[in-house]
């Protein structure tokens, strides 16, 4: 959808494009849709050398092909068992289970889809022995219409999923498998997987597996774009939502008489986190047409946490589709807000916004990268406690449940693609894949008010040949899909040699002063941070976010004077950076600071990492280190000085 907003409102003139021809709406129950979860205990086994494919394991129950384990879904499989052969497995693993499809799902021409929230990395899916879909790339959803393959109440159905976690130079992220041919040192066929990132390459069915139904003619996709304008003579604003509903199977007709498709849009105040129905007395606006605009008088804007006393306000957008006798109803959350960016400022709802938050990981004990509601809510609660207003989905898209919480709580998100540490930019296959993954990411998150910036990559080798063409192509691709949000990638290069930053709207820089360079010299942090960030701004005249900085600490390690790995050294590293940021803010181009990392996380076996990356201000179990208290003082003080938010009474430092 491209809209010139002047066409709908006399107060605004600019054009925005957002939209796609395919849909991946989150499955939600309604009067016309059913949703069933296939989460639970599945059967699981590892596969040596692709035997399962050769022997057609999908044709029978996995338990009949050899010994299986019990595997919870969703979860990474790596840390569930007590076997290193499962944790460190390279190659294919197999899952299967039975399920039951209700008889009435076969009625009225309904369609049944299967939707996976994320499988890492390559997935094959069979229903009753028939390959129904494959998907490449973790962290993003995919789905398939499986109506034709189900038994609908006659007997059970059987689903088999095979997953390959191998990363290669043309996967995103990239990796390499090395075969060790020295027979004096390695047994025959020994291989090792390496990659250009430090987090553990968790794999498995990471997010929920859902079955859902739609009517034969159904709402396939919705794109929205929001804005607001002052109501004449009052202090109120009118909210404006441009929307575009795409309809699947529009030619279908029960009685083969062509009839028109109609869409009605109702907007209600508030959003039920489960999307279950609306309070009809809260209706605030309504519109007709599948591609139009709806205006909300006296709109309640979506504000970031700490910028307003009612952050993350969401409306319910109810879409009612009617074609012939076939109706469809879909409800989704919508927040009304604007974003703008200049060479020295980022604005949300026309007010200056300063990012203070974290880079995070989806990572925890036992479940690895598996989706966990308790963990998502706990992390949101700690983000709230510490006074952060934002995070980056380093280094891949996070689960829709985490993103729903960000929308609801007003946490601002930099949404990152899984292209970490990529290189070799002359391969068109890599670029095409990267473009496809950006398309899938924008498709999933385009309507989220929390998402304000797309990140194409973390620390690519952007000083290398071809990085300029590669990244300018990606920026153009991203902007063609969504011109309403700025684009960035996160660099670890120098302003003097980076070839890709020139194409970005916002510069994100990772730097580990006194950790990876001048190790132990925290006295150099202020000088180095100021001179480096100033150099980026002088060269490119763009706003800058320091997207990573920090130091590792092992919870419980202390020393005075401070020393590497102690909680004191991590705390001093952060404090020195805060000092530099205050000076840079006076200079007027720093628009954000993000600590690496929110919590400690798992890495592969490495002699220089004591059981993981320990740069979290919380431990992996989410216990605060000294750094968490220092950060809490900093982040609430920032909110206090910008928006008069009172400091919490229980600040320890």
| Min CB(428)–ligand GCB separation in Å | 26
Retrieve residue 328's tokens: 């469809």
360 part of the interface to ligand GCB, by CB under 6 A: no
Q: Does residue 226 contact residue 241 with C-beta atoms inside 8 Å?
A: yes
| Min CB(490)–ligand GCB separation in Å | 7
466 SS3 class: coil
Nearer to ligand GCB, 147 or 619 (CB): 619
| Min CB(458)–ligand GCB separation in Å | 5
Q: Tally DSSP H helices, then E strands, for the chain.
A: 9, 34
Nearer to ligand GCB, 312 or 550 (CB): 550
Retrieve residue 300's tokens: 């309640």
Nearer to ligand GCB, 533 or 613 (CB): 613
Q: Does residue 2 contact residue 223 with C-beta atoms inside 8 Å?
A: no
377 SS3 class: helix
Q: Does residue 276 contact residue 29 with C-beta atoms inside 8 Å?
A: yes
Q: Backbone dihedral region of 459: left (phi > 0), alpha (psi from -120 to 50 degrees) or beta?
A: left
Q: Which of 632, 112, 42 is CA-nearest to residue 383?
A: 632
| Min CB(438)–ligand GCB separation in Å | 19
Return the residue of 226, 510, 522, 553 that touches ligand GCB, per CB under 6 A: 510
492 part of the interface to ligand GCB, by CB under 6 A: yes
Helix H segments across 326-417? 373-386, 400-409
Name the residue with tokens 């889809």.
Answer: 113
In a 10 Å sphere around its CB, with 0-12 CB exposed, 13-18 middle and 19+ buried, how is residue 502 labelled? middle
- 192 among known catalytic residues: no
491 part of the interface to ligand GCB, by CB under 6 A: no
- Each residue 53-82 as x (binds ligand GCB by CB under 6 A) or -, in order, gives ------------------------------
Cβ-based neighbours of 650, under 8 Å, separated by 6 or more? none
Nearer to ligand GCB, 245 or 580 (CB): 580
504 part of the interface to ligand GCB, by CB under 6 A: no
| Min CB(580)–ligand GCB separation in Å | 18
Cβ neighbours, 10 Å, residue 258? 8
Provide the pairing of β-strand 544-548 with 590-596: parallel
| Min CB(601)–ligand GCB separation in Å | 8
Residues between 173 and 202 that touch ligand GCB (CB under 6 A)? 197-198
| Min CB(547)–ligand GCB separation in Å | 8
Cβ-based neighbours of 488, under 8 Å, separated by 6 or more? 414, 453, 454, 455, 456, 504, 505, 506, 507, 508, 545
Q: Which of 463, 547, 446 is CA-nearest to residue 506?
A: 547
Backbone phi, then psi, for 65, in 5-degree steps? -95, -15
Backbone phi, then psi, for 153, in 5-degree steps? 80, -5
Nearer to ligand GCB, 45 or 615 (CB): 615
- Each residue 432-471 as x (binds ligand GCB by CB under 6 A) or -, in order, gives --------------------------xx------------
Distance from C-alpha of 635 to C-alpha of 358, rounded to nearest angstrom = 11
Cα 498 to chain centroid distance, Å, stands at: 26
Distance from C-alpha of 385 to C-alpha of 637, rounded to nearest angstrom = 13
| Min CB(493)–ligand GCB separation in Å | 11
46 part of the interface to ligand GCB, by CB under 6 A: no
| Min CB(475)–ligand GCB separation in Å | 20
Nearer to ligand GCB, 68 or 492 (CB): 492
> Pick the catalytic residue: 459, 548, 567, 593?
459
Nearer to ligand GCB, 440 or 548 (CB): 548
Nearer to ligand GCB, 395 or 448 (CB): 395
Nearer to ligand GCB, 271 or 355 (CB): 355
Nearer to ligand GCB, 264 or 609 (CB): 609
Q: Which of 108, 110, 150 is CA-nearest to residue 132?
A: 150
Largest CA distance in the chain: 85
Name the residue with tokens 């004990």.
Answer: 365
Residues between 603 and 622 that touch ligand GCB (CB under 6 A)? 613, 615
| Min CB(615)–ligand GCB separation in Å | 5
E strand or H helix that includes residue 191 = strand 191-195
Residues between 371 and 400 that touch ligand GCB (CB under 6 A)? 395
E strand or H helix that includes residue 228 = strand 218-230
| Min CB(79)–ligand GCB separation in Å | 19
E strand or H helix that includes residue 119 = strand 119-120
- Each residue 546-565 as x (binds ligand GCB by CB under 6 A) or -, in order, gives --x-----------------
362 part of the interface to ligand GCB, by CB under 6 A: no
Provide the pairing of β-strand 339-341 with 326-334: unpaired
Cα 393 to chain centroid distance, Å, stands at: 5
Distance from C-alpha of 86 to C-alpha of 45, rounded to nearest angstrom = 9
| Min CB(510)–ligand GCB separation in Å | 4
Retrieve residue 107's tokens: 């009625």
Total residues in contact with ligand GCB, by rule CB under 6 A: 11
Q: Does residue 358 contact residue 622 with C-beta atoms inside 8 Å?
A: no
Retrieve residue 378's tokens: 């706990």
Nearer to ligand GCB, 207 or 615 (CB): 615
Return the residue of 195, 398, 581, 596 that touches ligand GCB, per CB under 6 A: 596
Q: Which of 527, 524, 523, 466 is CA-nearest to residue 499?
A: 466
Nearer to ligand GCB, 198 or 345 (CB): 198
Cβ-based neighbours of 54, under 8 Å, separated by 6 or more? none
Query: Annotated catalytic sites, by residue?
Result: 459
Interface residues toward ligand GCB, by CB under 6 A: 197-198, 395, 458-459, 492, 510, 548, 596, 613, 615
């Amino acid at each position: 959808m491209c809209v010139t907003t002047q066409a709908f409102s006399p107060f605004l003139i600019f054009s925005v494009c957002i939209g796609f021809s395919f849909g991946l709406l989150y499955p939600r129950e309604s009067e016309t849709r059913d949703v069933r979860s296939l989460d639970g205990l599945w059967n699981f086994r590892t596969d040596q050398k692709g035997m399962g494919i050769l022997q057609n394991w999908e044709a029978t129950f996995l338990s009949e092909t050899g010994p299986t384990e019990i595997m919870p879904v969703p979860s990474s499989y790596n840390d569930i068992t007590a076997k290193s052969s499962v944790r460190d497995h390279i190659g294919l693993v197999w899952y299967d289970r039975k399920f039951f499809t209700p008889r009435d799902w076969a009625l009225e021409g309904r369609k049944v889809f299967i939707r996976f929230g994320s499988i890492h990395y390559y997935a094959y899916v069979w229903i009753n022995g028939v390959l129904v879909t494959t998907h490449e790339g973790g962290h993003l959803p995919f789905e398939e219409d499986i109506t034709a393959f189900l038994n609908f109440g006659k007997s059970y159905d059987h689903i088999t999923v095979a997953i390959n976690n191998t990363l290669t130079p043309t996967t995103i992220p990239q990796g390499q498998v090395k075969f060790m041919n020295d027979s004096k040192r390695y047994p025959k066929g020994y291989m090792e997987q390496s990659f250009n990132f430090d987090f553990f390459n968790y794999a498995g069915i990471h997010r929920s597996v859902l079955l859902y139904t739609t009517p034969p003619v159904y709402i396939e996709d919705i794109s929205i774009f929001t804005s607001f304008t002052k109501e004449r003579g009052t202090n109120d604003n009118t909210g404006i939502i441009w929307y575009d509903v795409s309809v699947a199977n529009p030619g279908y007709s029960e009685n083969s008489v062509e009839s028109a498709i109609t869409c009605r849009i109702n907007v209600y105040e508030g959003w039920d986190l489960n999307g279950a129905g609306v309070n009809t007395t809260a209706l605030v606006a309504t519109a007709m047409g599948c591609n139009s605009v709806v205006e909300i008088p006296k709109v309640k804007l979506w504000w970031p946490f700490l910028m307003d006393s009612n952050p993350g306000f969401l409306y319910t957008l109810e879409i009612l589709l009617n074609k012939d006798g076939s109706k469809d109803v879909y409800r989704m959350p919508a927040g009304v807000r604007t974003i703008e960016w200049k060479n020295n400022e980022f604005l949300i709802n026309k007010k200056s916004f300063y990012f203070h938050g974290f880079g995070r990981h989806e990572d925890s004990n036992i479940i690895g990268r598996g989706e966990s509601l308790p963990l998502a809510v706990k992390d949101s609660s700690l983000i709230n406690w510490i006074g952060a207003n934002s995070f980056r989905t380093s280094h891949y898209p996070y689960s829709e449940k985490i993103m729903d919480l960000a929308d609801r709580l007003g946490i601002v998100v930099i949404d990152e693609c899984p292209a970490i540490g990529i290189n070799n930019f002359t391969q068109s296959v890599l670029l095409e894949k990267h473009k496809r993954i950006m398309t899938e990411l924008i498709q999933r998150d385009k309507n989220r008010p929390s998402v304000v910036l797309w990140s194409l990559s973390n620390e690519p080798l952007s000083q290398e040949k071809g990085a300029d063409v590669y990244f300018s192509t990606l920026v153009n691709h991203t902007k063609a899909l969504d011109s309403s949000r700025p684009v960035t990638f996160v660099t670890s290069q120098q302003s003097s040699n980076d070839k890709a930053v020139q194409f970005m709207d916002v510069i994100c820089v990772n730097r580990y002063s006194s950790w990876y360079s001048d190790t132990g010299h925290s006295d150099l942090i202020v000088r180095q941070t100021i001179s480096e960030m100033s150099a980026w701004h002088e060269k490119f005249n763009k706003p800058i976010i320091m997207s990573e900085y920090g130091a590792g600490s092992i919870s419980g390690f202390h020393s005075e004077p401070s020393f590497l790995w102690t909680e004191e050294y991590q705390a001093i590293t952060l404090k020195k950076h805060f000092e530099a940021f205050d000076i840079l803010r006076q200079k007027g181009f720093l628009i954000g600071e993000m600590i690496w990392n929110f919590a400690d996380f798992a890495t592969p076996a490495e002699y220089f990492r004591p059981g993981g990356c320990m740069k979290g201000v919380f431990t992996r179990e989410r216990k605060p280190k000294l750094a968490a208290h220092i950060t809490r003082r900093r982040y609430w003080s920032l909110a206090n000085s910008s928006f008069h938010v009172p400091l919490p009474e229980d600040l320890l430092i």
